[in-house]
């Protein structure tokens, strides 16, 4: 019998990550990639020493309370840890790690791609030409019109790694950079970006052409863009969200777009994934993507690398580098 600590991975990871995990650990993989239902997750958590979940696994308080005594590390394959009840892990003495930094550039790139794509002109154009019935009659001056980005005011909510990476790209596009954050960023970076800090989110919202949501989902940011705040936006404003769906009240967003209170949205994430408010999906003022901002092979491999480093450090009795909060090491 293998006595090595059991590592259970809930979803299929890139082949190179899985094979390296197999070399390093006693690992149970998920070759079918079928997301685990609650019962399967509970079963996994009853036998695992280390769990490697993803955003699709809701690690709830009751699952944590009923976890097996050996479960001591949750090495999340992802940066956001909103899928995990952190308070309950603290109580259970379970260490949680994530994968910060390695998906910053890809997520920021996709954020800018969504700014370019709303309202739907890039998508419509591509769909139109790729249609086998393609009826393009040639160029037209009044057709497929979008909006210029340069000179517009961009308001970034959450100026952490991803928010700053978005700001650097947006500056190159000629945006005026504005941001709201719990506190101002370093003066030097602010100057480099020529960025304006808004302590009041409400005041920033009322003045922006595009809002980009780049903060984590936490109890404090749940429905940060509430129905009331959405009403503060200019009717010409667009919202881009590559962070988490529940930071925006999705129903209120769908109504605001439907009623022409705001111009539209570019969304990579949704409040109740994989369900999406159908009013968003079928609105030509919305470009929707299936949570794929960080879906590059490079980022997935780097995320896997981080997961392995965190597990290895833990098993070698060192503090895993990407601990979400400091917990006494009990191994
Ligand atoms: C990941 C993400 O693909 O890492 C994150 O926080 O939002 C995504 O880009 C996903 O969460 C993996 O668990």
Of 57, 313, 331, the C-alpha closest to 323 is 313
Q: Which residues pair with 97 in a beta bridge?
A: 75, 323
Active site residue 273: yes
Active site residue 244: yes
Widest Cα–Cα separation across the chain: 72
The token duo for 107 is 């997520």
Note the pLDDT tens digit of each residue in 144-182: 888 889 999 999 999 999 999 999 999 999 999 999 999
Residues 6+ apart with CB under 8 A from 255: 227, 261, 279
pLDDT of residue 198: 98
Domains of the chain, residue spans: 6-100+297-315, 104-134+145-288
Work out which ligand 1 atom sits closest to the CA atom of 244. Answer: 7
Out of 207, 273, 285, 323, the active site residue is 273
Q: DSSP 3-state helix, strand, coil percentages of the chain (rounded to 5)?
A: 35, 15, 50
pLDDT of residue 41: 98
Cα 64 from Cα 68, distance rounded (Å): 9
Of 95, 90, 76, the C-alpha closest to 323 is 95
Query: How far, in Å, from the CA of 167 to the mean position of ligand 1?
Result: 20
Note the pLDDT tens digit of each residue in 5-43: 999 999 999 999 999 999 999 999 999 999 999 999 999
What CATH number does the domain located at 104-134+145-288 have?
Answer: 3.40.50.720
Domains 6-100+297-315 and 104-134+145-288 share a fold: yes
* DSSP classification of residue 295: -
Answer whether 202's CB lies under 8 Å from 232's CB: yes
| 58 has a pLDDT exceeding 50 | yes
pLDDT of residue 2: 52
Query: How far, in Å, from the CA of 272 to the mean position of ligand 1?
Result: 15
What is the chain's mean pLDDT, rounded?
95
Note the pLDDT tens digit of each residue in 128-143: 888 888 888 889 898 8
pTM metric for this prediction: 0.94
Q: Which CATH class is domain 6-100+297-315?
A: alpha beta
Note the pLDDT tens digit of each residue in 285-323: 999 999 999 999 999 999 999 999 999 999 999 999 999
Note the pLDDT tens digit of each residue in 186-223: 999 999 999 999 999 999 999 999 999 999 999 999 99
3-class SS letters over 83-102: CECHHHHHHHCCEEECCCCC
| 65 has a pLDDT exceeding 70 | yes
Cα 83 from Cα 216, distance rounded (Å): 11
């Amino acid at each position: 019998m293998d006595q090595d600590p059991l590592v259970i991975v809930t979803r299929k990871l890139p082949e190179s990550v899985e094979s390296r995990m197999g070399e390093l650990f006693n690992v149970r993989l998920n070759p079918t990639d079928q997301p685990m239902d609650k019962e399967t997750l509970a079963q996994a958590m009853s036998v695992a020493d280390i769990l490697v979940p993803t955003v699709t696994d809701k690690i709830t308080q009751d699952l944590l309370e009923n976890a097996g005594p050996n479960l001591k590390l949750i090495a999340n394959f992802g940066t956001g840890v909103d899928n995990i009840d952190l308070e309950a892990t603290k109580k259970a003495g379970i260490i949680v790690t994530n994968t910060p930094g390695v998906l910053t550039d890809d997520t920021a790139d996709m954020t800018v791609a969504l700014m370019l794509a709303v309202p739907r002109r890039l998508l419509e154009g591509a769909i139109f030409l790729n249609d086998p019935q393609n009826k393009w009659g040639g160029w037209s001056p009044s057709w497929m019109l979008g909006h210029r980005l340069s000179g517009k005011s961009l308001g970034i909510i959450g100026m952490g790694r991803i928010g700053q990476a978005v700001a650097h790209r947006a500056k190159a596009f000629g945006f005026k950079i504005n941001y709201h954050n719990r506190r101002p960023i370093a003066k030097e970076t602010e100057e480099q970006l020529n960025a304006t800090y808004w302590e009041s989110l409400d005041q920033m919202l009322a003045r922006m052409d595009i809002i980009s949501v780049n903060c984590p989902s936490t109890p404090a940011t749940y429905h940060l863009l509430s129905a009331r705040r959405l009403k503060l936006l200019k009717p010409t404003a667009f919202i881009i969200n590559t962070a988490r769906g529940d930071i925006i009240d999705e129903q209120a967003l769908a109504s605001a777009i439907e009623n022409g209170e705001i111009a539209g949205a570019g969304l990579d994430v949704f409040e109740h994934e994989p369900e999406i408010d159908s009013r968003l999906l079928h609105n030509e003022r919305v470009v929707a993507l299936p949570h794929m901002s960080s879906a590059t092979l490079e980022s997935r491999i780097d995320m896997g690398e981080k997961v392995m480093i965190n597990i290895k450090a833990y098993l070698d009795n060192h503090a895993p580098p990407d601990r979400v909060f400091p917990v006494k090491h009990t191994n």
